[in-house]
Chains A and B, each alone.
Chain A
Amino acid sequence: MAGHVSPKSTYYAIFGALMVLTIVTIAVAYQPLGSWNFPVAISIAVTKATLVILFFMHAKYSSKLTKLFVATAFFFLAVLLGLTMTDVLSRGLKTYPGGAGGSGYGVREPRPASAAPDAAGAH
């Protein structure tokens, strides 16, 4: 069960790529990209994680069953995050100008306790 032995150069190359991506993600964080800062940061993190999983964790050379396991983990993580976000971000879309769940909601003054609990969909 010796498994796949990667050449050392692969590991050094992946490490180099991870370092470059780390520097890029720090540099980009100081650029005011508005709503793009978040997707850019997440994309870089996902790329880094993918490199680690494929090469450091040998998922690239593993059995189909192992690959299925990895995919399952991220599938259910996507369900957890995705479906919750679908709910939260769409709250009040039809009843509150601009929607109640999206960015800016927390900046507004809290609603008075006497206000009707319908429109803003407060949590």
Chain B
Amino acid sequence: MGMWLFLITEVMFFGGLFLAYMLYRIWYPRAWSEASLELNVLLGGTNTIVLIGSSLTMALAVRAAQTGLRKQTVVWLLLTMALGLTFLVIKYFEYAEKFEHHHVPGFDFHFPGPDAGPAEIYFSLYFLMTGLHATHMVIGFGLLSVITWMAARGRFSPDWYTPVEMSGLYWHFVDIVWIFLFPLLYLVDRAHHFA
């Protein structure tokens, strides 16, 4: 229950950023469209699949803990961590690409056309939102490391597996944030062509 309460505060934390995104999108629709075309849908889409897959393995880890299957719990947790790491590695390559293309605000930012200013706002929000999300992933990875260690030592039983369940809730929450980030940042303005 405390975990749900914490997640409510997290909803508002990310909610403020989504609000900022919405406002600037309304004010600068053309820049939003132009800038979002620069994002890599292949990498973003792959990461969506990876992250949802990690939610599946996390759910299966909680289930294994519920039913007292120690070895399976550890295996599913390790798989979840591996998928989480995959996500972060792909994200690293995406960020590197942004540096190459001068799309990082503050680092020699360049954007052709008249929308360089608002496009820089777009990329600022892109880095803020995905960066905060990635930070949550790193924290989740740390949590899961501890949980996996505890599970391997046989600390959990069908009577007490609360930490597994709690980190599961957190992990799924981070997945949900991405479920909204991906279409909003990568996809939604792709078909809007402003001549």
Contact = CB atoms under 8 A, between A and B. Distances in A.
B4 A1 contact: no
A33 B8 CA distance: 33
A6 B193 CA distance: 45
Nearest to A123: B27
A106 B67 contact: no
Contacts of A81: 15, 18-19, 22
The range of chain B's interface size is 35 or more
Contact of B159 (A1, A14, A42): A1
B1 A22 contact: no
Interface stretch (B54-62, B93-101, B132-140): B54-62
A101 B24 CA distance: 11
Interface in B6-29: 7-8, 11-12, 15-16, 18-19, 22-23, 26-29
A25 B56 contact: no
A29 B11 contact: no
B172 A52 contact: yes
Interface string A71-101: 0111011001100110011000000000001
Nearest to B14: A77
B23 A38 contact: no
B30 interface: yes
Nearest to B29: A103
Given A5-B67, A11-B63, A29 B183 contact: yes
B26 A89 contact: yes
A18 B52 contact: yes
Contact of B26 (A30, A49, A88): A88
Nearest to B28: A106
A15 B188 contact: no
A29 B186 CA distance: 9
A44 B53 CA distance: 18
A45 B183 contact: yes
Interface string A91-120: 000000000011111110000000000000
Interface of A: 1-3, 5-6, 8, 11-12, 14-15, 18-19, 22, 25-26, 29-34, 37-38, 41-42, 44-45, 48-49, 52-53, 55-57, 65-66, 69-70, 72-74, 76-77, 80-81, 84-85, 88-89, 101-107, 123
